[in-house]
Structure 1
Amino acid sequence: MSKRNLYPTDYVDSTYAIDFKKLYEQGYRGVIFDVDNTLVPHNAPADDRAKALFKELHEIGFQALLLSNNKEPRVKTFKEAVEYCTYIYKAGKPGVAGYKKAMAQMGTDETNTIFVGDQILTDVWGANRAGIRSVMVKPVKKWHEEIQIIIKRFIEAFILLGYKVYKTYGKDINKVPLK
């Protein structure tokens, strides 16, 4: 496992701070999202902010897809609430197959797809291995998760220390535009 695969292309405070219009202008056409703690707190329903985001993405011209390791009822209900997207449940992240399937469904590829998620060991690692630009966001509501995710958060804290050094001295940091 390469350390580079564990580092996101960029790390921002919130999904809702990303300027998707500028990303579209840069040539991106597909956005893959994790759901829990990326768009809403763990197991929370879609809120007005999430619904507005997916409507905005649709109006800009993006294809959007929810890629989740969750079971279908959770992901399908969220998708139905936000409307303008498709979904893949039980995605097997960090395996690359779900990311590849997502791009195939959206009609995009590694060069024009971006992934947004809140976990290094599933979201970022998988997106990087699939060759997709990865943007990590701070969890919407940290520490209110299942125990296995909380344990991963401790491991991620150490990885993020290395990322901060990499971000300071790395030559290929690709900042995501912010609003």
Structure 2
Amino acid sequence: MFEKLYPDAWVASTYDIPFEKLYRKGYRGIIFDIDNTLVPHGAPADARAEALFARLKEIGFAFALISNNKGPRVQMFNENIHAYTVCDAHKPSPVNYLKAAALMDVPKDKVLFIGDQIFTDILGAHMAGIYSILVQPIHPKEEIQIVFKRKLEKIVLYFYKKKRQREKNS
């Protein structure tokens, strides 16, 4: 029933993801949401984010940022990151996920997406045919429309956890 909304993986933080392992599995590109995935909503890239992107570059990954925000917000974050960017992306539309993969020149089956919202980030990645990783939001302060969606996400995640438990027990 909720299958298109289920992430392929769910982790506590972007900063806990074993990127070297994913590279060994054949992934070559990563598309990131920004707000509450990498930094609190509206914040510039901090030292931790900058270190992450330096590490990803060293591993060999291409990377892109995709955001429903306008250009100035995305460019402020990207100032020291130097990622490909897609602004005003209209997530969950899959079009700009595929555009981000094309900008990185990586086939979509070698790309993974990391974001904090099910109804925009994860759904869009699935519709684009891209592996998705859901992370817990970095900061609890969010816009009202997101607060409402978080209540619905709890329902989806309840069924996701039950499905994962059944798979473990099989």
How does the TM-score come out when normalised to structure 1? Answer: 0.91
- Give matches, 1:1-179, under 5 Å: 3-83=2-82, 85-142=83-140, 144-170=141-167
Question: What is the deviation of 1:45?
Answer: 1.2
Percentage identity across paired residues of the two chains: 51
SS at 1:94 equivalent: coil
**1:31-70 Cα shifts (integer Å, max 9, x gaps):** 0000000000111111100000001111111000000000
How does the TM-score come out when normalised to structure 2? Answer: 0.96
**1:67-123 Cα shifts (integer Å, max 9, x gaps):** 00001000011111323x111000110000011101110111221000000000000
Using the alignment, how far apart are the partners of 2:151 and 2:84 within structure 1?
Answer: 32
SS at 1:39 equivalent: coil
Identify unmatched segments of 5+ residues in structure 1: 172-179
**1:144-170 Cα shifts (integer Å, max 9, x gaps):** 011111111111011110110111124
Question: What is the deviation of 1:22?
Answer: 1.1
CA RMSD of aligned residues (A): 1.1
Q: Which amino acid aligns with 1:57?
A: L
Runs of 4+ residues deviating >4 angstroms: none
Question: What is the deviation of 1:30?
Answer: 0.2
Q: How many pairs were matched up?
A: 168
Q: Which amino acid aligns with 2:77?
A: F
Q: Which amino acid aligns with 1:6?
A: L
